[in-house]
Amino acid sequence: MALIECPECSQQVSDEAWMCPHCGLPLRSTTFFGYDFRSQTTLFGLPLVHIATGFDPLSGRRRVARGIIAMGDLAIGVLALGGGAIGGIALGGGAIGVIALGGGAIGLLFALGGAAVGAIAVGGAAVGIVALGGAAFGYYALGGQAAGVHPLGSNVHDPEALQFFRQWLGSWVDPFLRKR
């Protein structure tokens, strides 16, 4: 171990230090450790904005963003954006929320994603009370392959489903009525 001079504050620092203990300047790549920002403004005891990525250098645990607006590898908040997002409105690779948008989305009211599960679900594979997707399963289902109580798709044409979807989608549902 040798001492080096910090380029920012000119104090002596160990050459093994990740950051200068005097001024906080990162001395090594902090990609592994990531980033952690919490706004000073709070609401209901949570930071208004919390951005967190990477790992905590003290605990070795993955950082989790928790705030009203949370952004990071894993985010939990009223508005959550991240690789994994949980919140009121969640956007991420995997999203769980009241309204969820992601590769895989589970939404209490609305889900949009490659795979979507929610009261209203839209996706490649959709499961919901109202489901729209390549493969759709729901009380009202519209898709290439549709299944449920009232399905409308290339495989089946339920008159009640046609009436339901026409009121919302107009003539857009007509391609599903072509002869099989």
Report domain extents, the chain.
Answer: 1-30, 31-177
Q: Per-residue pLDDT for the chain (180 aa), expressed as one digit of tens each?
A: 788 888 889 999 988 887 888 988 877 655 567 788 999 998 988 999 999 998 887 777 889 999 999 999 999 999 999 999 999 999 999 999 999 999 999 999 999 999 999 999 999 999 999 999 999 999 999 998 999 999 998 889 899 999 999 998 888 887 766 654
DSSP strand pairing (42-43 vs 3-5): unpaired
Q: How far is CA 20 from CA 11, 32, 36, 38, 164, in A?
A: 8, 17, 17, 21, 65
Task: Decide: pTM greater than 0.85.
Answer: no
Answer for the pair 151, 136: CB distance below 8 angstroms, yes or no: yes
Answer for the pair 177, 167: CB distance below 8 angstroms, yes or no: no
In three-state secondary structure terms, 93 is strand
Q: How far apart are CA 174 and CA 166, in angstroms?
A: 9
DSSP-assigned beta bridge partners for residue 67:
77
